Amino acid sequence: MNERSSVAELAESLRSELNRYSIGGKLPSSRALVERYRVSPVTVSRALAQLAAEGLVVTRPGAGAFRARPRSAPQPAGDTSWQELALSAEAAGELVPRSVDASGVLVSLAQPPTGVIELNGGYLHHSLQPERAMAAALARAGRRPGAWGRPPMEGLPELRDWFARQIGGAVTAADVLITAGGQSALTTALRALAPPGAPVLVESPTYPGLLAIARASGCRPVPVPGDADGVRPELLAAAFEATGARVFVCQPLFRNPTGSVLSAERRAEVRRIARAAGAFVVEDDYAWALAHEDAGPLPATLAADDPDGVVVHVRSLTKATSPSLRVGALSARGPVLDRLRAIQVVDSFFVPRPLQETALELVGAPAWPRHLRAVAAELRHRREVLAGAVRSGLPALTVPHLPAGGYQLWARLPEGADEAGFAAAALRAGVAVAPGRPYFCAEPPGPYVRLSFAGVAGPAELTEAVRRLAAAAAGAGLPEPGRNA
């Protein structure tokens, strides 16, 4: 029996016996519960904590656990209908919408029901996370002198220096701000660079979280198509000229969702085109630590060869570690850095020091490079397993590009297929996938789904997922390639 089920069973047993005790009466000691139920002290502690969270017991350090006074009956719900008008009424000329569409982000953040295989997620399965190394780093960080003091607003100098070295080129610690993860960094960057109502150029397709940030800021995302070598420079130049945009956001390395890498020739072109337009390039380097074992040497970042301060670089530790280690970095040169710093200070003051100290301990430990090598090997293996299973068991889906990094396959459905209907059928069959529509800020060129291979327990779940998807495809009437829909 695992620890989680033991805690649930003990909590249920104690819950059923509470009526034996008077209000304020003391429950048996932890030692007595350990002996009676033959469980560990940790299980007893967690079960009592669960009952305390439910308001059934009160725990007093050094004294024990006591039956709590029953909570008063909940007050009847009031009339909140007035909020509908208050939230929708907009002042004349208001550019920033009050409502925020987070549906594209929630698809990858929502935890599927028990028994559903998670091919919609955006984080490593806990078995791939460096849990032991993170726990040790957290313990060491907590013992550092001043670990709970206020950090510098820009971040710990040592952590800023580490990020600067990872970004490369002439980037120094003075060019780096520590942020609360990549999403926070992107939000700060767009708020600094694009006023409400302004157009923002984005790759098409692109990360839905970016589109949500742009729209929530009152900006207008404008798509710039690309191919297997990344964004097409001639279309980027035309988009700058047609819209007057001053910002282009891209993921040059293993773009989400396609997995494409911006070619060396186009990298210089993108910087040149943006510089000629008097615009910034926001480089979202989300997958810098997710290269597969067979990826070969990675290209330098756009920021590494940027003497004119065109590039604002974003990266994070989260994707390679844990959803809860929300530590990232913004890098920029010139006056824009002051604006980025000011916006971050207003929004959040600073990233908590214990989290920064933990990140610093983690990346400086011998376990860190071992973890990256293990992730690289496992992601490659999972990519091959999923791609092979799709080719043999689900020929209705085509994968135009097999990525050498990242954690997803971008699969196209046959023309005329209903991607939302397929995703719903897949969920009924026990597999959660991400429909392709939220990845486009304009009309998509066809139906797609994104299949993530990072959030499952292992390769066996990937083959089982494709088996279920094949049944879902048949049930949804998904046409075979080359046949009329």
Query: pLDDT by residue (tens digit) across 82-98?
Result: 666 666 665 555 666 65
Amino acid making up residue 249: V
Q: Transcribe 103-170 into DSSP letters.
A: HHHHHHHSPPPTT-EE-S--S--TTTS-HHHHHHHHHHHHTSTTTTSPPPTT--HHHHHHHHHHH-TT
pLDDT at 347: 87
pLDDT at 83: 65
pLDDT band at 416 (very low <50, low <70, confident <90, very high): confident
Is 104 a residue whose pLDDT tops 80? Answer: no
Is 261 a residue whose pLDDT tops 80? Answer: yes
Query: pLDDT by residue (tens digit) across 20-44?
Result: 888 888 989 888 899 998 888 888 8
pLDDT band at 469 (very low <50, low <70, confident <90, very high): very high
pLDDT at 197: 87
Query: pLDDT by residue (tens digit) across 390-405?
Result: 999 999 899 999 999 9
Looking at residues 317-332, what average pLDDT do you find? Answer: 94
Looking at residues 261-266, what average pLDDT do you find? Answer: 94
Amino acid making up residue 239: A
Average pLDDT of the chain to the nearest whole number = 89
Is 450 a residue whose pLDDT tops 80? Answer: yes
Q: How many helices (H) and strands (E) does the chain have?
A: 16, 15
Indicate the range of 86-95, 303-312, 403-412 predicted with least confidence. Answer: 86-95
pLDDT band at 485 (very low <50, low <70, confident <90, very high): very low
pLDDT at 70: 81
pLDDT at 460: 94
384, burial (CB in 10 Å: exposed 0-12, middle 13-18, buried 19+): middle
- Give the torsion sign (CA, 142, 144, 149, 153): negative
pLDDT at 331: 95
Amino acid making up residue 320: A
Is 10 a residue whose pLDDT tops 50? Answer: yes
Indicate the range of 50-54, 95-99, 313-317, 374-378 predicted with least confidence. Answer: 95-99
pLDDT at 161: 96
pLDDT band at 484 (very low <50, low <70, confident <90, very high): very low
Is 157 a residue whose pLDDT tops 80? Answer: yes
Strands 247-250, 328-331: pairing is: unpaired
Q: What is the DSSP letter of 73?
A: P
pLDDT band at 60 (very low <50, low <70, confident <90, very high): confident
> d(Cα 480, Cα 287) in Å, to the nearest integer?
33
Q: Are 66 and 25 spatial neighbours (Cβ–Cβ below 8 Å)?
A: yes
Looking at residues 328-338, what average pLDDT do you find? Answer: 93
Q: Are 377 and 293 spatial neighbours (Cβ–Cβ below 8 Å)?
A: yes
Sheet containing strand 448-452, strands side by side: 408-412, 448-452, 434-435
pLDDT at 341: 93
> d(Cα 266, Cα 271) in Å, to the nearest integer?
9
Instruction: List 408's β-bridge partners, or say none.
Output: 452
Looking at residues 175-204, what average pLDDT do you find? Answer: 93
pLDDT at 407: 95
Domains for the chain: give ranges and CATH numbers: 3-67 (1.10.10.10), 103-122+369-475 (3.90.1150.10), 131-363 (3.40.640.10)
Amino acid making up residue 180: A
